[in-house]
Each structure stands twice: as C-alpha cells, then as structure tokens.
Amino acid sequence: MKIRVLTESGCGLTKQEANDLGIDFLPLQVQIEDKTYLDGVDLTVEELNSFLERGFMPQTSMPPLGDIEVLLESYKKDGITDVILITLSNGLSGTNQAIQASGKWHGVKIHTLDIYTTLGVEKYLVLSAQKLVEQKIHPEEIISRLKESVEHSRGFLIPEDLDHLAKGGRLTPMAAKLAGMLKIKPILEVSKNTEGKVDVFDKVRTMSKAIKKAVKVISKDANAQDYEFYVLNGENQEGTQLVIDELHDVFGEDIQIHTDPMYAVIAVHTGLGAVGVQFVKKVKGA
C-alpha cells in the first residue's frame, strides 16, 4: 500500500509549502476580470488583497480538471494505491466529487470525508492526516479519526464588506445594501450545522459585538486542552486582536491560537476587513 495525502488551496498552504511537507496539492482558481490565477501557485494572499483594495471583484472555481487528471494518472504510474483526500466543504465546491470521480477512473482508492468547512480547520486536518500517514496508520482509521474531530468543530466569519457576498450570491444585493445602511454585522457560519454552506448565524450592530457573540458561542463547545483554535485576519488587525483577546479571556492565557491571514479563496467572498474564528477537536495521535 502506497499512500498520499491530497488537498487544495482552501487549506491556506501554497503548493511549495504542501510539497515540502510531502502533501500533494491542487490549486483552486481565482478569476480576476479576464485572467485566471492558480491560488497558491501564481497568486498569494497579499496579491489577492491588493486586487481587493483596488476594487476588483474576483470569483473562484474548482481546480482545473486537467490538473486533476494529470495528478491521478501520475498516481497510477507511480503505484500509489490509496489517497487521503481533504478538501473544502462539498457545500462550497464540487472539488471533492471531481477528484473522487477521477480516482475511480484511474483505479486509485480515494479515502475522504466532508469537513463541512474550510480555512484553518481544513489546514489542521491536512497536517494531521500527513502526520498519521507518516506513523503508518491505515487510511480508514485516519479518516475515522478526522471525522471524530470534524464532529466537534465549528467556525464563524464576520465580514466588513458585504458587496463580495452579494456578488457571490451569498446575500442579495438589496440585503447587502440594507445591512450596510443599518450598519448590521452578520455572523456567518460554515460548519456541519449549516451542511457545509454559508449561512447567517446571527446579526448584530457592531464588529466588536459580533466577535464577542461568536466567542461566547464557541466557549460552550470547546476547551483549551482538547481543541485547536484558528483566527483568520482579513486585513483587520483590530478585529483580529479582539478575537484573540476574547479567546484568552474565556479560555485562559495558555490557549494555543493559530493566527493566519484570511486565505485567498475565502477572502474573495468576504472582502477586506473580515475576521474569522474556528475551533476543531484535536485529532487522536496527530
């Protein structure tokens, strides 16, 4: 049995970073006007944010089908028998299904799960899967352990700019305009509770109230010892620091918090100024 871990750029790794860890990588695509970029290959988070600052309204799509076919064909040639596939939620993208179909065509066994989200939780699961592969844990046991962690995970996004959500169909233009006029901050959830789709968890008046509400909800489900926490910074340092401070207030100073920039394929939809906070139960043995 020869095993590989495969993911895409929703996990926030670049192709080089993933490959350095022994992880295989497919880039999601970002369309900006008439040009298509490969996220994590020829587009960085900083470059994406620069486009957003200049008023561009990018769109995203799944990895090129040709890239999927080339990778799966290489697995067949190299004798790779099993692939542990971790992608963003099926509710956000058809990437997972496309790779499974290619694996079936090429005779490569795909072990996968719906993680019901993306961002930091996806990154943690990818890194954990690779660690378990290196420990020679059987693929089915790895997926079982990952599923257990997914069952105890949740995440919230708080956008500052609602125009990108409207552009992507997550909010109607009228709702986005009205929310802006009333200075309403929606707390968005992407988790198993929402079947992996973006949904509005609550609406409050200010960013600080939204952050405090999100952390309060998290405090009911997680603890500092058994969970990993991720804070995503969409070019909002003040909001990001407030999330960190709130987490410390609730869970204590010893809590381990991973702080990353908002990954490009999600920043496309949340725009600048967003913050995110996620938690996931630690994977057994990882």
For 97-113, the DSSP string reads HHHHHHHHHHT-EEEE-
For residue 184, what pLDDT band results from cuts at 50, 70 and 90? confident
User: Looking at residues 24-32, what average pLDDT do you find?
Assistant: 97
pLDDT at position 202: 87
- 16: tokens are 């080089």
For residue 115, what pLDDT band results from cuts at 50, 70 and 90? very high
For residue 180, what pLDDT band results from cuts at 50, 70 and 90? low
Mind listing the pLDDT tens digit for each residue in 81-107?
999 999 999 999 999 999 999 999 999
Q: List, in order of start, the domains of the chain with CATH numbers.
A: 3-150 (3.40.50.10170), 153-281 (3.30.1180.10)
Residue 13: phi, psi to the nearest 5? -80, 150
Q: Which residue has the higher pLDDT, 260 or 203?
A: 260
**Range from 111-115, 121-125, 137-141, 200-204 carrying the lowest mean pLDDT:** 200-204
Q: Give the three-state DSSP class for 26.
A: strand
Mean pLDDT of the chain: 92
Q: What is the rounded distance in angstroms from the CA atom of residue 136 to the CA atom of residue 140?
A: 12
Residue 176 has pLDDT above 50, yes or no: no
| CB contact burial 40-59 (16+ within 10 A = b; e otherwise) | bbebebeebbebbeeeebbe
